[in-house]
Amino acid sequence: MSCCEHDSNGHNGNGHHHDEHDIHHYDTNEVFPRQSLWHKEVFSREAWVAPRRGQKNVSQMHYARKGLITEEMKFVAEREQLTPEFVRSEIASGRMIIPANINHISLRPTGIGINTKCKINANIGNSAVTSNVAKELDKLKRAVKFGADTCMDLSTGGSINEIRQAIVDASPVPIGTVPIYQAVQKVAKPEDLTADLLFEVIEYQAKQGVDYVTVHCGVLLQHLPLTAKRITGIVSRGGSIHAAWMAVHHKQNPLYEQFDRLLEICKRYDLTLSLGDGLRPGCLADANDEAQFAELKTLGELTLRAWEQDVQVMIEGPGHVPFHLVAYNVERQIKECHGAPFYVLGPLVTDVAPGYDHITSAIGATAAGTAGAALLCYVTPKEHLGLPNEDDVHQGVIAYKIAAHASDVARNRPGARDWDDELSRARYAFDWKKQFALAMDPETAQAMHDETLPAEYFKSAEFCSMCGPKFCSMHLNRVVEQYNAENAPKETLTTTAK
Ligand code: SF4
């Protein structure tokens, strides 16, 4: 059985049961209007992709440039409240991507670009220290439940192929990976890596149904001396592996030299390239330096080469950036990379709050999303400190849903503010149950309310324990409302009479 075949009971080839009812996806699209598509019990792209199998290039960009509107484009158009033709033209131009490997059958397609709603990514995956398929699936479910639009499996520990397959099979959202993490597991030292091994791993993961891969093609031998004066050097895991390899062999990055070989794999599976920022700054002092921008320029050149072959591309960005420089980073990426979607990792706007980096980075992510970044990679409270557990994933996802939604409101995305207005009306009406239901994290909102006022009676009370019944400003407003009601009509009448 291939990785994508599911039997009629909802079991896949690996014996995992994927219960659609476990997955509830909160985002602006889901709440206003609630989308029936997402909640469809049985969902399979098999009928959509079957006619494409065996074709030389099955990428969404390839079809878009031929003038064809695929089912995936229609699906995205409905979720984004855009026309299918607009989605097609955005994909054809490279400004939007739909990461959708033809072997990821359970995928509900997601559009990522400057003209879609801002999306968030949650990283999951084991490390060499902890390894467990069920735990990773729990993290996936929790991340998707609270609104992750994509998930990256960053596993580096044992059972790596099994975990990835289970995640792809279970996931309704696009799955990304960093293939060099697996490649390096297969050798004793990073310098023992070979180009063939790396390409073999990339192709294997593409076959499994991975939708996008982070590949550090833009870290070049000539860039390495540019990092010499940094405080934290090269902090990207993939970037440092490539750098160490090039330093030992005095050779150019094989992913750069054999970029066309990579494009061939992408075309066969519609694997989207996420061109990694291997030289991203790891602290505020290193932001916007020569190394970062030299790599960005190379990524812009590679974007054009990928587009020549109709391969979908997004560009990864920093990292750690002072707040006042975040928008500049986005503007420069859009210019240097010709409008390819920008996928930012945070950025953290200060280095001094380990334990709270979901907050330091969500502040930067909001600035980035407002400036035009398309996908925000979450950061959990454990960043710099340890491997996130399920609760950390939850905290990170919510922090980033807030950042993405705040950006959508700031950018006037269709329907984005309606969600806020509806919750505000429920709040003012003391409709506590509706307020909880509309909250980004309903369980937490209700638990916090009920901590002090648990009785059912208080679900319609005109106050909460924050100010108490006497000082509840919204309750006192009823008096003001009454005054306005008594006075406003008279004034209107007087005016009319005059
Ligand atoms: S008591 Fe204060 S916090 Fe609570 S509902 Fe009234 S105004 Fe809002």
pLDDT for the residue numbered 493: 52
pLDDT for the residue numbered 1: 26
Could you identify the atom of ligand 1 that is nearest to the CA of residue 430? 5
| Distance between Cα 73 and ligand 1 center (Å) | 44
Which residue, by CA, sits nearest to atom 3 of ligand 1?
466
Tokens of 282: 């790891």
Residue closest to 211 by CA, chosen among 106, 133, 103: 103
| Distance between Cα 472 and ligand 1 center (Å) | 5
412 vs 155: CA distance, rounded Å: 37
Is 430 touching ligand 1 by the criterion CB < 6 Å?
A: no
Cα angle: 19, vertex 25, 27; to 5 degrees: 175
One digit per residue, the tens of pLDDT, for the chain of length 498 reads: 232 323 333 333 333 333 333 333 334 444 333 333 344 455 789 999 999 999 999 999 999 999 999 999 999 998 888 999 999 999 999 999 999 999 999 999 999 999 999 999 999 887 766 668 888 888 888 888 888 999 999 988 778 899 999 999 989 999 999 999 999 999 999 999 999 999 999 999 999 999 999 999 999 999 999 999 999 999 999 999 999 999 999 999 999 999 999 999 999 999 999 999 999 999 999 999 999 999 999 999 999 999 999 999 999 999 999 999 999 999 999 999 999 999 999 999 999 999 999 999 999 999 999 999 999 999 999 999 988 888 898 999 999 999 999 999 999 988 889 989 999 999 999 999 999 989 988 999 999 999 999 999 999 999 999 999 999 999 999 999 999 999 976 655 554 443
Which residue, by CA, sits nearest to atom 5 of ligand 1?
463
Q: How many CB atoms lie within 10 A of CB 251?
A: 12
pLDDT for the residue numbered 491: 54
| Distance between Cα 422 and ligand 1 center (Å) | 17
Question: Which H helix or E strand runs over 153?
Answer: strand 150-153
Q: Alpha carbon of 355 to those of 216, 285, 384, 389, 430: distances in Å?
A: 28, 20, 8, 13, 35
Is 474 touching ligand 1 by the criterion CB < 6 Å?
A: yes
pLDDT for the residue numbered 26: 39
| Distance between Cα 464 and ligand 1 center (Å) | 5
Is 467 touching ligand 1 by the criterion CB < 6 Å?
A: yes
| Distance between Cα 443 and ligand 1 center (Å) | 19
Is 473 touching ligand 1 by the criterion CB < 6 Å?
A: yes
Q: How many CB atoms lie within 10 A of CB 97?
A: 31
Q: Is the pTM of this model over 0.95?
A: no
86 vs 457: CA distance, rounded Å: 50
pLDDT for the residue numbered 379: 96
| Distance between Cα 425 and ligand 1 center (Å) | 14
Could you identify the atom of ligand 1 that is nearest to the CA of residue 475? 6
Is 466 touching ligand 1 by the criterion CB < 6 Å?
A: yes
Out of 472, 478, 480, give the residue to mutate to test ligand 1, the one with the largest number of ligand atoms within 8 Å of its CB. 472
- Identity at 396, one-letter amino acid code: G
- Identity at 293, one-letter amino acid code: F
Report which DSSP code applies to 469. T
pLDDT for the residue numbered 43: 76
Is 472 touching ligand 1 by the criterion CB < 6 Å?
A: yes
pLDDT for the residue numbered 131: 62
Is 445 touching ligand 1 by the criterion CB < 6 Å?
A: no
Residue closest to 377 by CA, chosen among 404, 405, 354: 404
pLDDT for the residue numbered 21: 34
| Distance between Cα 40 and ligand 1 center (Å) | 38
| Distance between Cα 473 and ligand 1 center (Å) | 6
Cα 365 versus chain centre, distance: 11
Q: Which residues pair with 375 in a beta bridge?
A: 119, 343
Is 463 touching ligand 1 by the criterion CB < 6 Å?
A: yes
| Distance between Cα 452 and ligand 1 center (Å) | 13
Could you identify the atom of ligand 1 that is nearest to the CA of residue 471? 1
| 3-class state of residue 135 by DSSP | helix
Is 493 touching ligand 1 by the criterion CB < 6 Å?
A: no
Out of 464, 477, 478, give the residue to mutate to test ligand 1, the one with the largest number of ligand atoms within 8 Å of its CB. 464
Q: How many CB atoms lie within 10 A of CB 356?
A: 16
| Distance between Cα 160 and ligand 1 center (Å) | 49
| Distance between Cα 421 and ligand 1 center (Å) | 17
Out of 473, 475, 479, 480, give the residue to mutate to test ligand 1, the one with the largest number of ligand atoms within 8 Å of its CB. 473
Is 464 touching ligand 1 by the criterion CB < 6 Å?
A: yes
Q: Which residues pair with 120 in a beta bridge?
A: 376
Could you identify the atom of ligand 1 that is nearest to the CA of residue 464? 4
Out of 432, 436, 460, 467, give the residue to mutate to test ligand 1, the one with the largest number of ligand atoms within 8 Å of its CB. 467
292 vs 42: CA distance, rounded Å: 45
Within 171-251, strands assigned E span 175-177, 212-215
